[in-house]
Amino acid sequence: MSLLVTVTGRDHPGVTAGLMDVLSTHDAVVEDVEQVVVHGRLLLGVVISGEGTGVAVRAALSQAAAALDVVVEYTPLEDHEPSSEVRHHVVVLGAPLPPAALAGVARRLAACGANIERVVRLSSWPAQSFELLVTGGDTAVLRHELALEAVAQRVDVAVERASIYRRAKRLVVMDVDSTLVQGEVIEMLAAEAGCLEEVARVTASAMAGELDFEASLRARVKLLEGLPVEAVDRVRAAVKLTPGARTLVRTLKRLGWTVGIVSGGFTAVTDDLRAELGLDHAEANVLEVVDGKLTGQVLGAVVDRAAKAAALKRFAREEDLRPEQTVAIGDGANDLDMLEAAGLGIAFNAKPVVRDAADAALSVPFLDAVLFLLGIPRDEIEQAL
């Protein structure tokens, strides 16, 4: 027989030490300890077993608790084997994040046979987010059901199976256009070439998965024939990072993670981004230039949907990482294979077809919110700045 000792009250130094001193003098065996402080209020749970669970130890603990100005309760526990149920990390994020959203997520979890063991706040800014440690439930079912609740509540929910890889060194690979940077570079080039409307129409269809990406890219690049490299330079200088992008990369790098980009766009932009942000890997299309002007052709194979997934796998092999240790972030249909190949695929302000297929989705406009989905709290982010 084991005994659960639950201690509550105002937190102050010496509570845990005082109670453990009592247990040490009564030959109690400490099997488990969990402690949390919420806005100055203490909740401490200790499971003890052995000879030191009888009347004497309870009396001594109660006396010590009174002296420490806390309340102690005792709950006998039947001995049982440790749970072998699968655990998941569920992150709920919103700006704002109303109680109704948390209630909806909790109801869905219960309906899936999953139990919430712990809730921890990850951030209050720029979005509010909480991480739930959940026992039980099937990963695919949880993702499906919680995705439905996320849409209904207009919040974001990510589900990731608990494993040793979650906080280990990992690889993050991002799309570039409309993910790492704002807007589509090819449309900026088209504006310089005077064919923006036509290119934008084709781009929208391609990103929604309605057109073959390679064919659509070659058709759009063909319209840029004759554009001087000076115009490409102007576009490169005008590219703006997505809010939070620099914080995301800097935090990951300082935590020892590897960061790469793979783009259906062009090296004319990604080369500068790699140097500016200190990225470890980059792959993109190469625009052919002859006599200082674009020829309207792409050199070599096009970085399409399949090539993006292949690049992620290659980057992982080069870093000696398992697929479970990879994270992919994208917004368009040409990112789908990459998101599926990663251990965690995140849709960032993505097209519906991408949101439906991804493991997690973000609808807030801040790219550093990805860090919360990875379980990295705001205070650790600020320490890495």
Amino acid found at 43: L
- Asked about 272 being catalytic, the answer comes back as no
Q: How far is CA 83 from CA 65, 79, 86, in A?
A: 31, 12, 9
348 pairs with which residues across the strands? 362
Which entry of 21, 27, 69, 175 is annotated as an active-site residue?
175
Task: Beginning with the edge strand found earlier in the chain, give each strand of the sheet holding 41-49 in spatial order.
Answer: 29-38, 41-49, 2-10, 70-77
Contacts 24+ apart (CB under 8 A), 299-307: 302/213, 302/214, 302/217, 302/218, 302/264, 303/262, 303/263, 303/264, 304/213, 304/214, 304/217, 304/264, 304/334, 305/213, 305/333, 305/334, 305/335, 305/336, 305/337, 305/338, 306/337, 307/262, 307/283
CA-CA-CA-CA torsion for 22, 27, 28, 29, nearest 10 degrees? 130
Which entry of 11, 27, 138, 177 is annotated as an active-site residue?
177
Residue from 347, 189, 349 nearest 266 by CA: 189
Q: How many residues does the chain have?
A: 385
CA-CA-CA-CA torsion for 376, 380, 381, 383, nearest 10 degrees? -170
- Asked about 356 being catalytic, the answer comes back as no
Question: Degrees (nearest 5) of the Cα angle 330, 198, 205?
Answer: 35
Catalytic residue numbers? 175, 177
